[in-house]
Structure 1
Amino acid sequence: MCMPLPGTVQPEKMESYANGAKFDCLLFDMDDTLYPLSLGINLACRKNIQDYMLNKLQIEESQVPKMCLDLYREYGTTMAGLKLIGYDFDYDEFHASVHGKLPYEKLKPDPVLRSLLLSMPQRKIIFTNSDEAHAATVLEKMGLEGCFEGIICFETLNQKNPGDTSAGDGSGKRVLCKPSLESMEAVVEIAKLDPKKTVFFDDSPRNIASGKAAGFHTVIVGSSALVAGADVALESIHNIREALPELWEAGGDHAVDIRSAAVAETTVLA
């Protein structure tokens, strides 16, 4: 259930704003969306996944690169593919191995993005395939704490059943993640969204297509050209105001001052 956080927009104020607004929620992917692909964190993450496949899962070295990419393309994430084809491993161990050695020092505070986010009166939520710890680290390194109402992440969509204390979670288990339409529908339910009044920002054409199928207004980030299902293309997340001025319109006298959100704690939505 999504609970209001200290310093965030209160429900009655949000409703007043939403009544006159075209959009009332902004759903953001995180990696390669809030920061550029050119930082190289994506490549470092892929290398760490391949190292895990080689050293922990004992997959033949010559097969690892192609297998890593093929599983990503087929199942949304390499982890999801590995689980479905029968590899048994602990989710937390996988995430720690993949994200624990990332070059987080490449992420710097982004006061321009922070200012943009805090100036928009809509609800703002992170929707990422990554785990909670990685999401929290990225937001901290970028100085974006308090800019989002919450985080929908791996743990949100893949909660253990009550009483399940198994470490590996079993092989052959389906992982719910983007770009599946089911993951989009789950987010709508978890965050209580109206898809028609939600803007979805993502760098992946596959995710954008699924977001459009779910009914979102879609924005491809990191590209100056539209892709299938995208309503808007942003070369940089910093171009939001120029490309989507309506996000600052229609609030009228009900527009919400959310500068106090700068001190809010972002939590995982479940």
Structure 2
Amino acid sequence: MEYGDLYRQVQRQKYDCLLFDLDDTLYPLSSGLATSVLKNIQDYMIEKLGIEESKIPDLCNLLYKNYGTTMAGLRAIGYDFDYDEYHSFVHGRLPYENLKPDPVLRSLLLSLPIRKVIFTNADKIHAIKVLRRLCLEDCFEGIICFETLNPFHKSTASDDDDDIEFLGSRQPSNIDIIGHFSQPNAGSSGLPKTPIVCKPSESAIEKALKIANIDPHRTLFFEDSVRNIQSGKLVGLDTVLVGKSQRVKGADYALESIHNLREAIPELWEADKPAEANYPGVTVETSVIA
């Protein structure tokens, strides 16, 4: 075999999976969905959990910072609620009409003869709605979503080694996390863990990869979140920060827009095949990885 042929073969085999975050990655932040999600979360905390409105901004910031999502943080500090109800409230009133079909991205994805999977902290219904609005539902093999990593509503820690457990044997009741961080030299080490499995937890990412049978060392991970990128890097993924033009620590590539994919990472197309890499006959509903 000629050296050039061997080199091209090695290049073609670098990735066998592309792992994509959903929100603010496959569509721009300017769509306004993220702003609406935050407003709906805050409304849920006031209306359903009875949290004082004046505490909401600080509480949301602390929970998101320390637990990855506000939802995961609320469960950790003692609030119990139905996960489906929460998602229905938070996502049920989003301006999905702001999302339009994206033929440019669709063409890019279908031209890549590589396995493609969605990995989102959001619930299944939201993920399907977004993909349908973008007309991308047949561009992915499957969806790793909230239900994939959290198949049961668990109010207490279990003996399952795959679970993310609380620090103690029982969940404490409504911890004052704002008061905790108002103390001198307060840190996150004394906080209870959450029963919810989600990014940016390294163990959550590892669990998702295991469920979907994805080799992190042969996978390119697309995310708009810097901390999710950095966690992905720690578990062995190559990473692409979407929405920024400058790379940060943990990011192998940076894309101002997902539409810049071909220009920024042309080597992905060196494995072009004559046929498009779509998934005929597989609907999003039946391809959720669970």
Same fold (TM over 0.5): yes
Q: 2:95 aligns with which of 96, 103, 108?
A: 103
The 2-side partners of 1:126 and 1:72 are apart by: 22
Gaps of 5+ in 2: 1-8, 157-170, 172-193
Report the CA distance shift for 1:28/1:81 in structure 2 as closer, same or farther (over 3 A).
same
- What is aligned with 2:251? 230
| Structure 1 SS opposite 2:279 | helix
- Is the Cα contact below 8 Å between 2:240 and 2:255 reproduced in 1? yes
The 2-side partners of 1:260 and 1:245 are apart by: 20
Report the CA distance shift for 1:48/1:221 in structure 2 as closer, same or farther (over 3 A).
same
Report the CA distance shift for 1:18/1:137 in structure 2 as closer, same or farther (over 3 A).
farther
Cα drift, residue 131 of structure 1: 0.1
Cα drift, residue 259 of structure 1: 5.2
Cα drift, residue 169 of structure 1: 3.9
Cα drift, residue 20 of structure 1: 4.2
Q: C-alpha offsets along residues 32-56 of structure 1, whole Å, 9 cap, x if unaligned?
A: 0000011111010000000000000
Say which one has the larger Rg.
2
2:223 corresponds to 1:199:
no
Of residues 171-180 and 187-196 in structure 1, the stretch that sits farther from structure 2 once superposed is: 171-180
- Is the Cα contact below 8 Å between 1:36 and 1:222 reproduced in 2? yes
The 1-side partners of 2:92 and 2:10 are apart by: 40
Which residues in structure 2 correspond to 1:1-270 (within 5 Å)?
A: 20-160=12-152, 169-170=154-155, 172=171, 174-250=195-271, 255=273, 257-258=275-276, 260-261=278-279, 264-266=282-284, 267-270=287-290
- Is the Cα contact below 8 Å between 1:200 and 1:216 reproduced in 2? yes
Q: Given residue 221 of structure 1, which amino acid in structure 2 is its aligned partner?
A: V
- Is the Cα contact below 8 Å between 1:179 and 1:207 reproduced in 2? yes
Give the 4+ runs in structure 1 shifted more than 6 A.
none
Cα drift, residue 262 of structure 1: 5.7
RMSD across aligned positions (CA): 1.7
Q: Given residue 265 of structure 1, which amino acid in structure 2 is its aligned partner?
A: T
The 2-side partners of 1:124 and 1:228 are apart by: 24
Q: What is the TM-score normalised by the length of structure 2? A: 0.81
The 2-side partners of 1:263 and 1:69 are apart by: 43
Cα drift, residue 261 of structure 1: 2.5
The 1-side partners of 2:280 and 2:258 are apart by: 19
Aligned residues: 244
Cα drift, residue 174 of structure 1: 1.2
Q: C-alpha offsets along residues 123-177 of structure 1, whole Å, 9 cap, x if unaligned?
A: 00000000000000000111111000000000000112xxxxxxx6427451000
| Structure 1 SS opposite 2:249 | coil
Per chain length, whose mean CA-contact separation is higher, i.e. which structure has more relative contact order (CA < 8 Å, sep 6+)?
1
Cα drift, residue 250 of structure 1: 3.8
Identity within the alignment, %: 59
Cα drift, residue 106 of structure 1: 0.3
